[in-house]
A and B are shown apart, each in its own frame.
Chain A
Amino acid sequence: MQTQDLVTIVPWTFIAQICNLFIQIFLIKKFLLGPIRKVIEKRKMLATEELDKARESGAQAAAMKEEYEKSIADAKSEANEIIAIANRTAEARADEILRKAAEEAAALKNKAAADIEQERKTAVNEVKDEIGSMAMEIAGKVIGREISEEDHKKLIDDFIENVGDKK
């Protein structure tokens, strides 16, 4: 087979190789650089988007945290207030109860005393009547005559009065 010289520049090969180089540039651009650049560009855009989103959500989270902290603080002060009110109410209630109890006790005591007094009076009256009639009977029998009840009534009353007071 025919061969060309070892060191030579063949015009047609020279021209063809220039063309080949430019065709190769076009092919590499179309099949490697173009698609890869497009993908990298897309990824960059996506990354920027994601970053923006992350920043936004970070700001949101910070705002939410602030709000949360504020509401926690609010809740705390509210709770303190409620406890204070409850304490105050409880104290007032306790005082009221104590006061009422004391009042009741006093009333009871008064009533009891009045009752006792009443009882005593009733008892005294009864005894007075009984003793009076007994004395009249005894005196009648002793003297043998009817003594005027009217005369001695006063005497007897005085006696009983003294007896009652002595008790």
Chain B
Amino acid sequence: MEIEVTGARIFATIPTGIPILGDFHITETLVVSWIVMAVITGLCIWMTRGLKVENISKRQAVAEWLVELVDGFVGENTGHKPQFKRLVPFIAALFATSVVSNLISLTGLRSPTADLSTEAAWAIVVFIMITAEKFKSMGFVGYWKAFTEPIFLMTPFNILSELATPVGMACRHFGNILSGIVINGLLYAALAYLSAKLFGLIPGAVGKLLSQIPFLDVGIPAFLSVYFDWFTGVMQAFIFCILTLQYINNASEG
């Protein structure tokens, strides 16, 4: 029995000839990302169809609730500072993309978040925002000076801890999703193996035929998926957004 957990498949390669970046690969990650974007945008358009001021539909109620939810979430995690209201679209997009990306694995597609490139992209954006906020609150000189505090000896560690922020965020999210995939792969393989052994006990051609079908793979993995897909999927998106807001909020306080 062999279990293989691989990275995203590459559907097509567009040669670019650019030295460091290399060829452009249209990978599973990108294709599913576009599907995710289409799903989110489609949901947005569907929910905001026929908006009314009075006698609102259930769709509109959900849409308004979601908007207020994001507003409240951003407000709570940034101490209700008015200048951070502009983060609402960013957080909404980040959270929606993350959740839908994580949960799209339920349909059999490969999550874009199961590719470290995705989380790294998000983390670098957050990192730039944090740094920009620090520049704003501490000033250019103050920002660099802060690395040598409290004593000059600490500089390397301070730089490390600064870089650890985006790396940690990206790896936390990626690791959780990847572990789900790995464990799911293991579980499916194990159950298929068990199924083959179990039905192989039936003598003759019937046993041979039935042992080919992994019966145990039906149903049982769904229970595990409640944790690895649903819980982890929502939780990691939530954590990523909370950390983003808290880091930016802390940065603004110097």
Chain A interface (Cβ < 8 Å from any Cβ of B): 1-18, 20-21, 23-25, 27-29, 31-33, 35-40, 42-43, 46
Contact = CB atoms under 8 A, between A and B. Distances in A.
Contacts of A17: 29-30, 33, 112, 117-118, 120-122
Given A21-B121, A27-B44, A37-B67, A43 B93 contact: no
B62 to A, nearest CB: 10
Contact of A24 (B11, B40, B124): B40
A31 B89 CA distance: 11
Contact of B40 (A11, A16, A18, A28): A28
Contact of B37 (A14, A20, A37): A20
The 5 closest A-B CB pairs, nearest first, are A17-B121, A31-B44, A13-B117, A32-B44, A4-B7
B47 interface: yes
Interface string B1-43: 0000111111100001000111111010110011001001100
B51 interface: yes
Contacts, number: 145
B53 A42 contact: yes
B19 to A, nearest CB: 11
A87 B33 CA distance: 99
Interface string B41-77: 1001101100111100000100110110000000000
5 contacts: A12-B23, A17-B122, A24-B96, A25-B93, A33-B92
B121 A32 contact: no
B90 A13 contact: no
A17 to B, nearest CB: 4
A29 B86 CA distance: 11
Nearest to A32: B44
A29 B89 contact: yes
A20 B48 contact: no
B125 interface: yes
B53 A4 contact: no
A1 to B, nearest CB: 5
A40 B30 CA distance: 35
A11 B20 CA distance: 8
A13 B122 contact: no
> Which of B34, B52, B90 is the most central at the interface, judged by chain A CB atoms within 10 Å of its CB?
B90
Interface of B: 5-11, 16, 20-25, 27, 29-30, 33-34, 37, 40-41, 44-45, 47-48, 51-54, 60, 63-64, 66-67, 88-90, 92-94, 96-97, 112, 115-118, 120-122, 124-125, 174, 178
A38 B64 CA distance: 11
A46 B56 CA distance: 15
A9 B117 contact: yes
B70 to A, nearest CB: 8
B30 A35 contact: no
Given A16-B30, A24-B96, A46-B53, A33 B20 contact: no
Given A8-B117, A24-B96, A31-B45, A2 B9 contact: yes
A50 to B, nearest CB: 11
Contacts of B96: 24, 28
Nearest to A4: B7
Contact of B67 (A5, A10, A36): A36
Contacts of B10: 1-4
Contact of B63 (A12, A13, A29, A36): A36
A44 to B, nearest CB: 10
Contacts of A24: 37, 40-41, 93, 96-97
A85 B97 CA distance: 90
Nearest to B42: A31
